[in-house]
Structure 1
Amino acid sequence: MGPLRHAARHLRDSASLAAAVTDWQDHPDHEAYAADLERRHRSKHAFWARAGL
């Protein structure tokens, strides 16, 4: 499995785990993090297709 697949899987896993987090402290929540990641890496079409977010 290549790094692109690993990264997409980790992002999906973190999305499902985010519901259990009650205190993000000073960190952005998963939704904000993923939105910023997509904004900065919008052109990575293969990644976003694999991430399915």
Structure 2
Amino acid sequence: MARKNEARSTVTLRSSAGTGVTYMTTKNRRNTPDRLVMRKYDPKVRAVVEFREAR
């Protein structure tokens, strides 16, 4: 069985448009200690907006 990687953790990305749309992804906390920001598609707005890491 594969070992669990403690450095990578699951994070939730929440839309900055305020629609409540979320994405789930993983990130390496050792290499990226800051909050993650990605540009993704928000289907409620029908546009590409910034998604920020929610804690």
**TM-score above 0.5, yes or no:** no
Q: For this structure pair, what is the TM-score category when the shorter chain's length is used for normalisation?
A: under 0.3
Task: Tell me the TM-score normalized by structure 1.
Answer: 0.22
Largest Rg, 1 or 2: 2
Higher helix share: 1
- Of structures 1 and 2, the one scoring higher in RCO (CA 8 A, sep 6+) is 1
Task: Tell me the TM-score normalized by structure 2.
Answer: 0.21
